[in-house]
């Protein structure tokens, strides 16, 4: 990343992106913790889901969104998507003149410092293929045992809201039972959609077992903003704008479980 040398960055917006509505789980926490910040959110519905895409495709999508945010004069971009953090961040991290926060890399140090020996990770196929969580966690604690398990059928459950469907329940049970064979001390919900499956997950394992990285992630960003002098110190609530690459009506409908939108997102 090139050095931030602009004046008065504080009032510039913070951009967020994800393949769909899942990143709103991170966005909502951010708005709650830092209400004065001006924010933008980009849902890349034209390419959803990200979990089955190649690294080259994911890098291309990320560049398109970051180029868009460059034109919006953001002070930072939050990759509120584990798959993009795993597959695209390492390529694009030095290409832009603003700070980029990837969810996996930002959370790994905190999670690795927990008093645990065995960590499980539920994630998309692309995130598991990258080995990003294992690599980042073991960078800080080489003694950790990490088991990453792909759950490709979980994002569609959340996006559709079909939590009570027997097939949905069976899909969650199958992956939880498989992970429990590893006997993890903690399990990372390594996709921003997955915390919304908690009511199903806790049918098969105790809630204390699961880690939602979103809370850790937003605290990390807040602390970094403070140290860099990037916090917006306004006494009024910041503005927000939503953008999508396709299907604004679908985004509005499916966003309800994550965040209350005040108007239909703009198609870009």
Active-site residue set: 81, 191
Q: How many CB atoms lie within 10 A of CB 233?
A: 8
Strands 118-123 and 186-189, how do they pair? Answer: parallel
Question: Are 241 and 40 contacting, i.e. CB atoms less than 8 angstroms apart?
Answer: yes
Q: Which residue's structure tokens are 């919900």?
A: 189
- 72: Cβ–Cβ under 8 A, 6 or more apart, which residues? 13, 15, 40
DSSP 237: P
Could you give the count of Cα atoms lying within 13 Å of 63 in the half-sphere of its Cβ? 11
What is the spatial distance between Cα 178 and Cα 45, in angstroms, rounded to a whole number? Answer: 30
């Amino acid at each position: 990343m090139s050095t931030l040398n602009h004046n008065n960055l504080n009032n510039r917006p913070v951009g967020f992106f994800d393949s769909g509505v899942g990143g709103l789980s991170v966005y909502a926490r951010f708005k709650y913790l830092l209400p004065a910040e001006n924010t933008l959110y980009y849902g890349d519905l034209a390419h959803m889901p990200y979990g089955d895409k190649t690294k080259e495709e994911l890098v291309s999508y990320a560049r398109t969104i970051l180029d868009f945010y460059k034109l919006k004069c953001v002070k930072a971009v939050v990759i509120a998507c584990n798959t993009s953090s795993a597959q695209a961040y390492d390529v694009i991290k030095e290409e832009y003149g603003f700070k980029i926060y990837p969810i996996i890399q930002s959370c790994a140090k905190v999670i690795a410092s927990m008093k645990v020996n065995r960590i499980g990770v539920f994630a998309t196929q692309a995130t598991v293929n990258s080995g990003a969580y294992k690599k980042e966690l073991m960078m800080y604690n080489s003694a950790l045992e990490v088991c990453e398990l792909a759950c490709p059928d979980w994002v569609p459950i959340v996006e559709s809201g079909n939590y009570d469907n027997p097939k949905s329940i069976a899909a969650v049970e199958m992956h939880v039972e498989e992970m429990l064979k590893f006997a993890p001390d903690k399990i990372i919900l390594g996709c921003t959609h997955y915390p919304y499956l908690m009511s199903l997950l806790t049918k098969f394992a105790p809630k204390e077992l699961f880690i939602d990285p979103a809370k850790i992630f937003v605290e990390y960003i807040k602390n970094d903003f403070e140290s860099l002098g990037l916090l917006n110190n306004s006494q009024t609530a910041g503005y927000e704008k939503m953008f999508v690459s396709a299907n604004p009506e679908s985004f509005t409908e499916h966003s309800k479980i994550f965040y209350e939108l005040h108007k239909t997102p703009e198609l870009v």
